[in-house]
Amino acid sequence: MFMMKNILALSLLLCLLFAFTRKEKPAIWLIGDSTMAWKKPERDPESGWGEGLKQLMNGKATVHNHAASGRSARSFVSEKRWAAVLDSIQPGDYVVMQFGHNDQKQDDPKLFTDPFTSYKEFLQKFIDETRAKKGIPVVCTPIVRRHFDGNGKLVDTHGEYLNAARAVARQNKVSFVDLEARSRELVSALGPEKSKAIFVFCAPKECRRSSKGVQDSTHLNHRGALQIAQLFAADVKKQKLPLRKLLQ
């Protein structure tokens, strides 16, 4: 009887230890700007591709979209948004980062990062600290803006930020998804008129975001958010990145 009680007690202890140490589903943490972020209902039909990504998961991971409108790599750190994500990262989690849109704002020192120095330094920080928590970083270039020139050709609006993101990923042997290139292919193929269907273009009184109508060539609508997420997923699978195992 004494031995049986000891065995039961030991079994209970092991069960408790397992309950406290067992890892739940891996998480995918998204950090970035408005083109990736969740949007409040009053912004409808605006959305971010991080929300589209949630529709492409196979149930083996949970997506936590911490991307936020108007943020750069610098402000994401200074506002403690990164600290909140970092505190939650568990071994085996992924951190997908996409910055660049707001880093370009030279007239705002709270946002601006130089592509050759501080932009790369912040990406390096995200990579190093993710790895220190035994997480897996993934670097993305910012999605293309729908800015066509007079000849119907997309204008490059991100410049050296694209090369900087690519260089940091290469130097650190980090998974890299060139979303600017993938989204450029999509928007170019659609052309100046048809591409409006994936961005926020609304006639007066047609959408909740503004009763006066919207013509926004930076932010995605729900359809566009899903299509960009599909481009991300397709590239992950094409490169055979480990993240593919969590996608449909």
pLDDT (tens digit, 9 = 90+) per residue, 150-179? 999 999 999 999 999 999 999 999 999 999
- 26-246 belongs to which homologous superfamily? SGNH hydrolase (3.40.50.1110)
pLDDT at 20: 41
pLDDT at 23: 57
> Which residues partner with 207 through β-bridges?
210
SS3 143: coil
Which segments in the chain show pLDDT lower than 70? Answer: 1-23
Q: Do 120 and 103 meet the contact criterion of CB atoms below 8 Å apart?
A: no
Domain ranges of the chain: 26-246
Give the whole-angstrom CA distance, residue 50 versus residue 35. 8
pLDDT at 24: 80
Q: What tens digit of pLDDT does each residue of 212-245 get?
A: 999 999 999 999 999 999 999 999 999 999 999 9
Give the whole-angstrom CA distance, residue 155 versus residue 138. 26
Separation of first and last alpha carbons in the chain: 52
Rounded to two decimals, what is the model's pTM? 0.90
Q: Which two tokens stand for residue 14?
A: 């092991």
